[in-house]
């Protein structure tokens, strides 16, 4: 499938690049690259582009100016274009997220190899970065893990490397799921099951850890499901929302027997570690 590449120059860049990324993610854009001048956003050509722009701050800019250009990238050129913008990701001392074409001697800590394709979660975005850090800072890695919205599978891969015995990785996008399967194989993982779908796939299985890096609205819709499948005192890691949304998310989660354990922040984004009471 062909891809829309939307290049946006912003003045000022911060915090508008984060705001616009969140808005475009809500309306069908699936991957983003932050630049010194703004951002580059990618989406399938099947989205309603004009409607997507109307639903974002770009339709009525207040407090910022922007320049925007759009082009169509043929499907066969997608990986080459993405590789141009794919740099190694270092999550402090914990883990290095590299592509197969990177020099592996650059790795610090755990090494995870991700083939960059059009799916969210390579580690470049602040939310994936924070969730990766949160996994390393758990007191203990639970044996049974659910990774909702797995994207490239990077968080599932880290979970297995940290000691999880079973990881169920779910995504609604077939392209993302294919990429996750490829990446789990590339990292020699044997304990990750990748499935396409949503919370409707969840049966009676219980988990000690649920990872959900999606967006605020979906997290709220699925909160009851997370509570139902988590063991008592199980861990819920949430991200995909801004720092200004933290209290709203904490108040909402408290209705489902969740209690705050730890807060992570990076730029304008946040992640929360919760415990089921």
* Domain identity same for 74 and 149: no
Looking at residues 115-135, what average pLDDT do you find?
77
Looking at residues 139-146, what average pLDDT do you find?
97
Domain that holds residue 18: 3-78
Residue 122: its pLDDT value, please? Answer: 62
Residue 129 lies in a domain: no
The pLDDT confidence band at residue 123, using thresholds 50, 70 and 90, is low
Q: Which long-range contacts (CB under 8 A, 24 or more apart) does 47-51 make?
A: 47/4, 49/4, 51/27
Q: Considering Cα of 263, then 210, then 24, then 200, what sign does the dihedral take?
A: negative
- Report how far residue 225's alpha carbon sits from residue 176's, in angstroms, rounded to the nearest whole number: 22
Residue 173: its pLDDT value, please? Answer: 82
* Domain identity same for 170 and 253: yes
- Report how far residue 186's alpha carbon sits from residue 7's, in angstroms, rounded to the nearest whole number: 31
The answer, yes or no, to whether residue 120 has pLDDT greater than 60, is no
Last residue of a domain, one of 78, 100, 120: 78
Domain count, the chain: 2
Residue 175: its pLDDT value, please? Answer: 77
The residue among 3 and 149 whose pLDDT is bigger is 149
Are the beta carbons of 45 and 78 closer than 8 angstroms?
A: no
The answer, yes or no, to whether residue 83 has pLDDT greater than 70, is no
pLDDT per position as a tens digit, 181-190: 999 999 999 9
Q: From the CB of residue 100, how many other CB atoms can be counted at a distance below 10 Å?
A: 11
* Domain identity same for 272 and 187: yes
The answer, yes or no, to whether residue 221 has pLDDT greater than 90, is yes
The answer, yes or no, to whether residue 270 has pLDDT greater than 90, is yes
* Domain identity same for 151 and 221: yes
CATH number at residue 43: 3.30.70
* Domain identity same for 255 and 146: yes
Percent of the chain with pLDDT over 90: 62
Q: From the CB of residue 112, how many other CB atoms can be counted at a distance below 10 Å?
A: 26
* Domain identity same for 249 and 173: yes
CATH number at residue 257: 3.40.50.150
Measure the CA dihedral 101/105/111/112, to 10°.
Answer: 0
Residue 99: its pLDDT value, please? Answer: 87
| pTM score, whole prediction | 0.76
Residue 14: its pLDDT value, please? Answer: 83
Residue 25 lies in a domain: yes
Residue 119: its pLDDT value, please? Answer: 46
* Domain identity same for 195 and 263: yes
Looking at residues 13-42, what average pLDDT do you find?
85
The pLDDT confidence band at residue 256, using thresholds 50, 70 and 90, is very high
Interacting residues of 33 by C-beta distance below 8 A, sequence separation 6+: 39, 40, 85, 124
Residue 246 lies in a domain: yes
* φ, ψ (nearest 5 deg) of residue 235: -105, 135
Interacting residues of 173 by C-beta distance below 8 A, sequence separation 6+: 30, 119, 196
Last residue of a domain, one of 63, 78, 93: 78
Are the beta carbons of 43 and 7 closer than 8 angstroms?
A: no
The residue among 249 and 41 whose pLDDT is bigger is 249
Q: Considering Cα of 158, then 143, then 217, then 51, what sign does the dihedral take?
A: positive
The pLDDT confidence band at residue 238, using thresholds 50, 70 and 90, is very high
Distance of CA 147 to the CA centre of its chain: 11
Residue 54 lies in a domain: yes
- Report how far residue 18's alpha carbon sits from residue 85's, in angstroms, rounded to the nearest whole number: 18
- Report how far residue 18's alpha carbon sits from residue 265's, in angstroms, rounded to the nearest whole number: 13
């Amino acid at each position: 499938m062909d891809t829309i590449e939307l290049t946006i120059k912003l003045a000022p860049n911060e915090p508008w690049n984060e705001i616009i990324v969140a808005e475009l993610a809500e309306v069908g854009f699936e991957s983003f690259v932050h630049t010194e001048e703004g951002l580059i956003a990618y989406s399938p050509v099947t989205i309603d582009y004009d409607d997507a722009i109307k639903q974002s701050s770009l339709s009525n800019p207040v407090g910022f100016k922007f320049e925007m250009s759009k082009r169509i990238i043929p499907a066969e050129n997608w990986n080459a274009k993405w590789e141009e913008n794919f740099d190694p990701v270092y999550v402090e001392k914990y883990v290095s997220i590299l592509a197969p074409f990177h020099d592996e001697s650059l790795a610090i800590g755990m090494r995870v190899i991700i083939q960059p394709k059009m799916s969210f979660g390579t580690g470049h975005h602040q939310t994936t970065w924070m969730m990766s850090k949160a996994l390393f800072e758990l007191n203990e890695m639970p044996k049974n893990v659910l990774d909702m919205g797995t994207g490239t599978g990077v968080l599932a891969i880290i979970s297995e490397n940290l000691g999880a015995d079973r990881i169920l990785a779910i995504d609604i996008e077939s392209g993302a799921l294919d990429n996750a399967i490829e990446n789990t194989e590339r990292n020699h993982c044997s304990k990750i099951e990748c499935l396409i779908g949503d919370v409707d796939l969840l049966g009676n299985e219980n988990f000690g850890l649920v990872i959900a890096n999606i967006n605020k609205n979906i997290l709220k819709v699925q909160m009851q499901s997370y509570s139902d499948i988590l063991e008592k005192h199980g861990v819920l890691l949430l991200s995909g929302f801004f720092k200004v949304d933290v209290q709203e998310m904490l108040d909402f989660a408290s209705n489902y027997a969740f209690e705050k354990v730890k807060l992570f922040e990076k730029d304008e984004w946040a992640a929360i570690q919760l415990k089921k009471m």
